[in-house]
Amino acid sequence: MSSTQPILEVRNLEKTFKQSTGILDLAKERLGLGDNPPIRAVDGVDLRLEQNQAQAVIGESGCGKTTLLKTLMGLYSPTGGDVVFDGTNRDEFSKADWKEFRRRVPIIFQDPFNSINPTFTVRDALLEPLGIHDMKGDDPEGKAIDALEKARLTPAETYLDRRESELSGGEKQRVSIARALILDPDVLLADEPTSMIDVSTQASLLNLLDDLVEELGLSMLYVSHDLSTVSYVCDRINVMYLGRVIESGTTDAVLDNPKHPYTQALIQAIPVPDPFSDREPTDLRGTPSDPINLPGGCRFKDRCPERMDVCDRTPRSTETEDDAEHTVACHLYYDHEGATGADGHATVRAGNGMHGGDDR
Amino acid sequence: MTTDEPLLEVEGLDVEYELTNDVIHAVSDASFTIQENRYLGLVGESGCGKSTIAQSLISALDSNGEIASGTIRFRGEEIQDLTEAEFKNEYLWNEIAFIPQSAMNSLDPLMKVSEQATKIAKEHTDWSKEEALDRFRELFGVVGLPESRIDDYPHQFSGGMKQRTIIALALFLKPSLIIADEPTTALDVIMQDQILNYLQEIRRDRDLSMLMITHDISVVFENCDDMAVMHGGQVAETGSVVDIYTQPRHPYTILLQRAFPDVRFRDRKLETIEGEPPVLHEDMDFCSFADRCPWATPECRQGSPPLEPVPEGAETPRGGGETAADGTRVDDGVVTHRTSCIRQEEMADLADAHLDEIEAKRTLTE
Amino acid sequence: MHLGSTIKYITQLLGKLDRRSPSIRSNEQLRVFFSDSLTVFGVVSLLLLVSLAIFGPMLAPYSYDEAQYQDDELVRFQPPSTEYLLGTTQTGNDVFSRLIYGARPTAVIGFSTAAIVIAIALAVGLTAGYLGGRVDESLMRLVDLLYGVPLIPAAIMFITFYGMGFWSIILFMGIILWRGSSRVFRSEVMQLKQRPYVQVARSFGGSRPYIVGRHIIPNMMGMIVLFFALSVGLAVLISAGLAFLGLMNPFIPSWGIMLQNAYNSGRMLEVWWWTFPPGIMISWLVLSTYLVGRGYERIQEGKERGVQL
C-alpha cells in the first residue's frame, strides 16, 4: 500500500432512496403500515483514489455508478458510510471546507449537448466557476485562455466568443474539461465523457484525459459502461454491479485476468473488430434484478453460472491469491480461508469488521 | 446458394433535406448491394447519412426529405418512388422488415403485443387469428421470450425484452430482408451481445438477408458478411468484411479501423481523425473526406469520386465471405470490393508508411 | 417590400428584448418563428393594437365622452356616417372615438393582469420546481385549491366587499389566474434543473439564487414571453365578461364596458355599429395572442425533431 494519503477515499458508502415521498406514503410509514422498501443504489462501496491516479468505475446502467458519482460530488448526501477528502471526513466539513472541496473536485458530464448554458458564450462558461469562487483575479480572460489551451482548443482566442450551437460535440467536451481545469483542481470526476462522442474524435479526448493526469498531476475517477476505452486513461478498474463493487484491480489485472463471473461475462461480451476472431458470445442471460426488491446475499446470484448455495450470503471483498491489489467479492475465492463446498453448508464469517457476511 | 441478382440494390442515391434556408445533401451518389442470404453492415459516424439511407429504403423519409436521384431496386423492382403508404402495403413486414433505432418506442403502448402481431397479420396475410397467434408464439420462443407473455403490454417488458419483441415482429411474416437501424445502441454490452447473437442465429436459420446500420465497426466485423463504410453522405468503401479488413483502400476506412479501441491490444495508441464530419450544405461534388484526409490532393476536391473496384492484390488472403456454422469463413467472392478513393492504388503503401511513422513517433516518446 | 422590412424590424426588436439571447441562435429561431404567415399576423396585430393603445387617443376625431350635438340636438343612436364613422351611442358619443380610446384601458387591463399573473406564477413555479419535496406539494395543493374557485361568483363576492373598481378587479384577476401558468413553469423548471450545465454550476457551489437567475430564468424566457401574451388575451376576455356583467367601473371606457353600454341601451341588435366593433376588437386581440402562442409552439416542436442524418 502506498504511504501517501489518498486524495479521495470512500468507505462503505451507502446511498439509499426511498421510493416515494408523497403525503400518503408518509402517513403509511408513520402508521407502520405499508411496505416501502428503499432502493439501495449504492450499497457499501469502498474506493481509494491516490494522487495522480486515474481509476475507472465500470458498470452497466442501473449499477449505481452515476449515483455514486453524484454522491461524491455532493449533489446527494450519503445515507451511510464516509467520504474522506484529503484527510478530512466530509461529515466534518465546514462551509468553507465545502467550498474548497467544490473547487478542487469538479465534474464532467457525458452529454456534450447540454453541458453549456445555451445563453452563454464559451467565455461565460469558463468564467463561471471563477465567479462562484471569487477567483477572477486580475486577468480572468487570461485564465480562460490558459484553460482552453490545456484542453487543446486552439487558437484559444477564437473560441471565447462562441456559443454552444457553434461548437461540435468534441469541442463542447473540451470546453467542459477546460471549465473543470480552470480552478486548478485535484480530482476530476468524469461521467462517461466520451460515450456520446464520435469514435473519430474520441481518441483525441481520451489522449487528452490521459495526458492531463500525467502532466497536471490530476487524479481522475472515470465512470463508464465501456470497458474498451478505460484502458487508455485509467490505471485501476472497479467493477460495480447493483450497488456494490464486485471486483477491483489494476487495468491489466482485471482485463487479462477477471475473477468475478460478472466481470468475465462483461469482458467476454465486448465485440472485437476482427472478422477472424473466435470470440464466443456470452452465455449470460437475463438482466440485472430490479433494484427495488433485491434478495439477500450476492446480487449476481440469479444470473451467475457458478452459483452455489453459499451465495445466499453476501460475499465480502477478498484479495486474490496472486495479486494483493486485485480484490473480488465472490464466494469462489474464499477457498483458502477454508470450507466452501458445493453443498454450501460452510459458513463464511467476516471477522475483520468489513461489510458482508450477514444476510441482507 | 447465391443467385446473381442482388436482393437489394442501391445505385447512385442522392437524398436531400430542405430546411427553411438551406438544403442538406444527406446522401450523395451512394451505391451498395445486398445479396440473398447475406448480412451487410452499413457503418459510419453521426451525420454520415446511414440513417437517411435506412429511411429512404422504406420510403419513410421525413416530410422535408426527398430522394433527388438514383434508384433502389428490390428483387429488380424499383421502389424509391413509392409513397409511404404504398410501401407499407406492398413490402413492409412481409418482404422487408424494419427494426428502428428507438425500438423502445415503436411498440404501440396501448395495444397488447399479441394484438400488434395480429394486426400486422391481418393487413398482409390471410391467416386466421389463431394461426397468427400460434406463429407469433413460436417466434417469441425463437427470440427467447416466454410464450405466455404475448398478451402483455409493452410497458411490462424491460428494454432488452422490448427489443426482442420487435425482432419477433420483424420476423413474423418471414420477410426476405431485415433492416436494423442501430438495434443495440441503447443497450448494455451484455444485452447487445445477446441480441446480436439472436439476430445472427435467426438469420442463418431462415436464410434471411440483413442490413445493419451502426456506428460500431467491431460489431460489423464480427457479425456481417459484407460492409459499406460511409462518410459525409458518400460511400467510401464497400465489399466483403474480410476484404475490407485485410485490404482497406479508403483513408477513412483505414483510419476508422485504427480509431476503434480493441480490448485485445490495449497498448496500441488510438488513431485520431482530424476535423469533424462535414455539415453537407453544398452539392457534394468532391470527396467529403478530403478536409480530414492526411493524403488528400487537389484532385480529391475536383469532382465526386466514383466507386471503383479494387483490383485483387497478390497478397489478398482469400478467405472472405460467409461464415460457416463452425465459424470458419468461406469464400464465395460474391461482393466486389469497391472504393471511392482516387488514390486507392497507392493507399496500401501510404497507409503502411503512416503506420510506421506513428510507430516511430511512439518509440521516440517512450 | 413593406412586410419584409417590418419583419426585419420586429426581429431586431424582439431580439433586443432578450439581451442575453445569442444573436445567431435567436436569428435562426426567429426566422422559423416568422416563417409562418399566421404567426406574423399575430405579432403584427399585437403590435398594432399596442400602438393603438398608446397613440390612439391622439388620433381619435373626438373625445370618448364628448356628447355630440347637431343643430343643438344630441346625436343619439346614429348609424355610421361621414362625421361619425361608426355612428353614435345612446349618450351621443362617437363610437369610433370610443373604440379607439377603448384600446388603452383594455390594453392596461390585459398587460397589468398578465404582469401580476406571470410574476406570481413564476415565483410559485420556480419555488415548487426547484425546491421540490414538501414545498412543491404544498404549493401545488394551493394551485389545486385555486382551480376550484369559480371566477364569476368569486368576482361578485369580491366587489361586494371591495366595491367595483378598475385596479381592484385587475388585482383580483391576477390573484386567481396565475393558477394556469404556474404548473407549466414548474415543469419547465424541473426539466431545466436536470440539465448538465445546471448540475455543473451546482457542483461548483453556485447558490440557489445564482442558479435560478443565471441558468433557469434565462432559458425560460421564450416560455415567459409566451405565457405573458396568452395571459393578456385571457385577461381581456375575462374582463370583458366581468364588464358585461356590470362588475367593472363603467366610467373607464374599455371595450368590455362598451359592450355593456350597448347591451344596456336595450337596442343591442339594432345598433350593430356600436355592438359589433368592440366585440371584434376583443376577438382580434385575443386571437393575436393565441397566434403568437401557436408560433412559439411551432419552434419548440421544431427544436425537438431536428434533422436526422
* Domain count of the fold of chain A: 1
Answer yes or no: do B193 and A206 touch at CB < 8 A.
Answer: no
**Residue A299 counted as domain residue:** no
Residue B241 belongs to domain with CATH number: 3.40.50.300
Give mean pLDDT, residues A194-217.
88
Question: pTM for the whole thing?
Answer: 0.81
**Residue A144 counted as domain residue:** yes
Give mean pLDDT, residues A195-201.
84
Which of A119, A129, A176 lies at the smallest CB-CB distance from C20?
A119
Q: What is the ipTM of this complex?
A: 0.81
**Residue B13 counted as domain residue:** yes
Which of B19, B21, B48 lies at the smallest CB-CB distance from C307?
B19
Output the 3-class SS for chain B.
CCCCCCCEEEEEEEEEEECCCCEEEEEEEEEEEECCCCEEEEECCCCCCHHHHHHHHCCCCCCCEEEEEEEEEECCEECCCCCHHHHHHHCECCCEEEECCCHHHCCCCCCCHHHHHHHHHHHHCCCCHHHHHHHHHHHHHHCCCCHHHHHCCHHHCCHHHHHHHHHHHHHCCCCCEEEEECCCCCCCHHHHHHHHHHHHHHHHHHCCEEEEEECCHHHHHHHCCEEEEEECCEEEEEEEHHHHHHCCCCHHHHHHHHHCCCCCCCCCCCCCCCCCCCCCCCCCCCCCCHHHCCCCCHHHHCCCCCCEECCCCCCCCCCCCEECCCCCEECCCCCCCEECCCCHHHHHHHHHHHHHHHHHHHHHHC
The residue range of the domain holding B46 is 8-95+175-365
Whether the pLDDT of residue B323 is over 60: the answer is no
Whether the pLDDT of residue B187 is over 80: the answer is no
pLDDT at C120: 96
| End-to-end C-alpha distance for chain A, whole angstroms | 31
Whether the pLDDT of residue B280 is over 50: the answer is yes
pLDDT digits (tens, 9 = 90+) for A286-308: 777 777 777 778 888 888 888 88
Distance from C-alpha of B164 to C-alpha of B170, rounded to nearest angstrom: 10
Which of A200, A255, A278 lies at the smallest CB-CB distance from B273?
A200
CA-to-CA separations, B217 to B244, B316, C147, in angstroms, rounded: 11, 21, 56
Question: Which of the pair, C178 or A314, is modelled with greater confidence?
Answer: C178
pLDDT at C181: 93
Answer yes or no: do C309 and B19 touch at CB < 8 A.
Answer: no
The residue range of the domain holding A111 is 8-245
**Residue A121 counted as domain residue:** yes
Shortest CA distance from B230: residue in chain C: C309
**Cβ contacts (< 8 Å) between B46 and chain A: which residues?**
169, 198
Q: Do B175 and B94 contact (CB within 8 A), yes or no? A: yes
Answer yes or no: do B62 and C307 touch at CB < 8 A.
Answer: yes
Helix (H) or strand (E) holding C74: strand C73-74
pLDDT digits (tens, 9 = 90+) for A134-179: 888 889 899 999 999 999 988 888 999 998 888 888 899 999 999 9
pLDDT at A220: 95
**Residue A310 counted as domain residue:** no
Q: Any chain B CB within 8 A of the CB of C31? A: yes
Whether the pLDDT of residue B305 is over 90: the answer is no
| For chain A, percent of residues with pLDDT exceeding 90 | 33
Whether the pLDDT of residue B12 is over 80: the answer is yes
Residue ranges of chain C whose pLDDT lies below 50 = 1, 15, 17-25, 304-309
CATH number of C35-66+98-302: 1.10.3720.10
**Residue B240 counted as domain residue:** yes
Shortest CA distance from B52: residue in chain C: C309
Q: Any chain C CB within 8 A of the CB of A165? A: yes
What angle is formed at CA C191 by the lines to CA C133 and CA C218, rounded to 5 degrees?
A: 110
Give mean pLDDT, residues B203-216.
89
Answer yes or no: do B189 and A251 touch at CB < 8 A.
Answer: no
Residue A42 belongs to domain with CATH number: 3.40.50.300
How far does A108 lie from chain C, in Å, by closest CA?
8
**What are phi and psi for residue A289, nearest 5 degrees?**
-65, 160
Whether the pLDDT of residue A204 is over 90: the answer is no
Shortest CA distance from B27: residue in chain C: C309
pLDDT at A344: 40
Least confident of A207-211, B131-135, C75-79, C165-169: C75-79
pLDDT at B103: 64
pLDDT at C306: 36
pLDDT at B344: 80
**Residue B169 counted as domain residue:** no
Whether the pLDDT of residue B2 is over 60: the answer is no
Q: Any chain C CB within 8 A of the CB of B83? A: no
What is the band of A35 on the pLDDT scale with cuts at 50, 70, 90? low
**Residue A297 counted as domain residue:** no
Look over chain A and give the mean of its residue pLDDT values, rounded to a whole number.
Answer: 83
What is the band of A76 on the pLDDT scale with cuts at 50, 70, 90? confident
**Cβ contacts (< 8 Å) between A99 and chain C: which residues?**
205
pLDDT at A351: 32
Question: Which triple of cell numbers denotes residue B90?
Answer: 406492398
* Domain count of the fold of chain B: 1
**Residue A333 counted as domain residue:** no
pLDDT at C302: 55
- Of A313-322, A348-357, B83-92, C213-222, give the range with the top mean pLDDT: C213-222
Give per-residue burial for C25-57: e unless 16+ CB within 10 Å, then b. ebebbbebbbbeeebbebbbbbeebbebbeebe
**Residue B145 counted as domain residue:** no
**Residue A278 counted as domain residue:** no
Chains touching B by CB (3 or more pairs below 8 Å)? A, C
Whether the pLDDT of residue A352 is over 70: the answer is no
Least confident of B296-300, B324-328, B335-339: B324-328
